[in-house]
Amino acid sequence: MDLDLSSEDERFREEVRDWLHENVPKEPAPPYGPEYREYCRQWQRTQFEGGWAGISWPSEYGGCGLPPIRQMIWHQENARANAPAVGVNFVGLNHGGPTLIACGTEEQKAYHLPRILRGDIVWCQGFSEPSAGSDLAALKTRGVVDGDDLVVNGQKIWTSYAEHADFQELLVRTDPDASKHGGISWLICDMNLPGVEVRPIKTMTGHSHFSEVFYTDVRIPLSNMVGELNDGWRVTMATLSFERGTAFMSGQIELAKVVESLIELAKNTTGPDGRRPAIQDDGIARSLGMIRAEVSALRCLTLASISRALESEMPGPEGSITKLFYADLSMRVRQLALEILGGQALERTPQGWTNEYLGAFNVAIGGGTSEIQRNIIGERVLGLPRDRNRK
């Protein structure tokens, strides 16, 4: 047990800090559209050219080959420098890429990994379907082998940044007669193939965070399969373990910043008595204190994941604890903001707390609802028996 950063780690932090100071874009990110995509890609390319992309990815594919703690340092310094968020590159960097590293062929790795790191290509996810949400393995999108291709027909939903993506991690059912988990394959789908259609879904914040994707006779080469035919569920578990595990590193740092700004809000907003600043209200002060302690615990959960990653490549089911804790805390932070704001909470500004509050429901649902995380914790961390209702 130690918190020590080696002198190399410290030097790394200094170098990152200096480089970010010089290179973080001055102009803010455009809110959406092709300009947003370009902004994200350009920032990724800048990182790549500076030698900072894929901190803990293997160096043979353009990564830095450094231990995960360096990735954490990188995220910390990015937050300190107010560097742009990962944006459209989230899936490629945080679970698409790591899945290829763990399960992909040499060709797949050689093609995609450097391109993801350079910001040349954008990845998105194609897992959920309209009737396969929490019950992901119920997916029905069909893939039929025809020569060297899989011919895909069906529909996906909740695909973030689909309209910006070049490739997609796509789950299809390739053996409808096999057991539910036994007939699924994991594909790399080129989003520009004929027959792929993207339709954005509008959310309650007024934005389109995600889309439906429709597939009509889309021909995907079999060489784009990750893992074996019908063995995609194993690969999926790897993807989900990355999604629920290490992908939260930057989210946690972001949330810590949100909490500090919430404290500022409480200093500058009149409290429930209509007279003193909210932070002088005994109850609000206690809630703020507890939330600050909890965001610290979230950070420690992340550090524990990093520590475990020193021993094993693949994040374990404990990632679901981090996800659950993160989702619950994210929601409560925004609820406290609403309590502090009182009537002002009705006034909606694009970057304001009200939108944050509405957006927080995404966090509790996306990447597996909190109920699903509790099932995983109960069954895979604690070893409680599986629910027979779930066929």
Partner 1 sequence: MNLLPDSQQQEIIDATAGFLESEFPLSRLHESEEPVPISRELWQTMAELGWFGLGLSEELGGTGFTLAEEALLFRELGRVLAPTNVLAASLAVRVASLAHQSELAESIIGGNQRVAIAETADMESTLGENVTGRFRCIDGSDVELVLCSSAQGFALVTRDALGQGDVVPCMDEHTHLEIFDIGGLPALAFAPTEMDSIQNRGSVLAASMLVGSSEAARDQATEYAKERQQFGKPIGVFQAIKHKCADMASRCEAATWQTFYAALAVRDGHADATFQASAAKLLSAKAATENGQANILVHGGYGVTAEYDAHLFLKRSHVLDLLIGTHGEHLTRVLHEPTAA
The residues carrying an active-site annotation are 243
Q: How many CB atoms lie within 10 A of CB 49?
A: 12
Q: How many CB atoms lie within 10 A of CB 237?
A: 13
Q: Is residue 275 near a copy of itself by the rule CB under 8 A?
A: no
DSSP string, 43-71: HHHHHHHHT-SSTTS-GGGT-----HHHH
CA distance 342 to 344: 5
Q: Which of 230, 292, 314, 332 binds partner 1 (CB under 8 A)?
A: 292
Nearer to a copy of itself, 288 or 306 (CB): 288
181 binds, among a copy of itself, partner 1, none (CB under 5 to 8 A by kind): none
Q: How many CB atoms lie within 10 A of CB 352?
A: 14
CB of 357 to partner 1, least distance (A): 8
Identify whether the C-beta of residue 19 lies closer than 8 Å to the C-beta of residue 29: no
Q: Is residue 277 near partner 1 by the rule CB under 8 A?
A: no
- Residue 152, classed as helix, strand or coil, is strand
Closest CA to 146 of 39, 221, 80: 221
Nearer to a copy of itself, 177 or 282 (CB): 282
Q: How far is CA 154 from CA 157, 357, 373, in A?
A: 11, 33, 27
200's enclosing H/E stretch is strand 196-201
Nearer to a copy of itself, 197 or 339 (CB): 339
Pattern 143-162, a copy of itself, x by CB under 8 A = --------------------
343 binds, among a copy of itself, partner 1, none (CB under 5 to 8 A by kind): partner 1
CA distance 180 to 385: 19
Q: Which of 117, 240, 259, 284 binds a copy of itself (CB under 8 A)?
A: 284
- HSE (side-chain half, CA atoms, 13 Å) at 331: 12
Q: Is residue 252 near partner 1 by the rule CB under 8 A?
A: no
Count of residues that interact with partner 1, criterion CB under 8 A:
90
Q: Which of the stretches 87-95, 223-231, 253-261, 282-290 binds a copy of itself when contact is defined by CB under 8 A?
A: 282-290
Enter the tokens of residue 152: 């895909």
Nearer to a copy of itself, 282 or 311 (CB): 282
369 binds, among a copy of itself, partner 1, none (CB under 5 to 8 A by kind): partner 1
Q: Is residue 281 near a copy of itself by the rule CB under 8 A?
A: yes
283 binds, among a copy of itself, partner 1, none (CB under 5 to 8 A by kind): a copy of itself
Enter the tokens of residue 151: 């011919």
Scanning residues 141 to 180, which ones bind partner 1 (CB under 8 A)?
157-158
Nearer to a copy of itself, 257 or 276 (CB): 276
Interface ranges with a copy of itself (CB under 8 A): 272-273, 281-284, 286, 387-389
